[in-house]
Amino acid sequence: MSDEPTAATAGSTAPRDPAGDDGRVPGAERLVVPLDVDDLVSALRLARQVQPYAATVKVGLELYSAAGPDAVSSLAEMGFDVFVDLKMFDIPTTVERAARVVGALGARYLTLHARDDAPMLRAGVEGLLDGASEAGLPEPAALAVTVLTSDPGAPPHVLPRRVALAVECGCAGVVCAAADLKDVREIAPRVQTVVPGIRPAGANVHDQARVATPAEAVAAGADLLVIGRPITQADDPAAAAAAIAASVA
């Protein structure tokens, strides 16, 4: 879009010296920035601002409801890994068909609720992989949402049961709180871990009950860090993203 700001004109004072072949700084491979806005133009503008500092952007319910498949395909074409966070939970046939669509759009990740429903989880995994394969795209990853970071009261038996179920059903990764990483690694040492509820030291925790700093989460074994408002609501989102990427490089 010709009216969109480029990385050099987005009004940021963050450094512009990415070191990688893909134009991103060290540490960017760990960052997932949620584009929690209600129109595609705003989402693409924010994505351009943080592109040197985050390899992955998240399309959640708000943006997907506003822009649908265009949000996923547009961001994938920009060179992002696209994390589609729809937390699918329905009958297996519905989940399989919806996941197939997401896979064909070029999503890199898709979230499924890891409730006690193995047929649904398997259907989601299979649909996602089949959709990507049929479109000639790289294999995506289904992520099982274990216990929400906004939920401090989940019974202790829930996490291990859901992690084991996710692995059994073929999920490539799980979404969990930093505090749960030790238990997750003991149950499934090779599973990919995606951790929301990340807040730099001193930042407002907002509605997150179980938070960690970026460095704490990485030290505990996190592969990907979902960091929203500390970046997206900062006066300079690019500078905020750059600082966080540097802290985990």
Please give the positions annotated as active site.
87
Rg of the chain (C-alpha set): 17
Helix (H) or strand (E) holding 70: helix 69-77
- Please measure the distance between the N-terminal and C-terminal CA atoms of the chain and give it in whole angstroms: 32
- Residues 6 or more apart whose CB falls under 8 angstroms from that of 199 comprise 205, 208, 211, 212, 213, 227, 230
Take residue 120 and report the two structure tokens written for it: 């649904």
Between CA 47 and CA 36 the distance in angstroms is: 11
Closest CA to 106 of 72, 58, 55: 72
Please provide residue 113's backbone torsions phi and psi, each rounded to the nearest 5 degrees: -70, 130
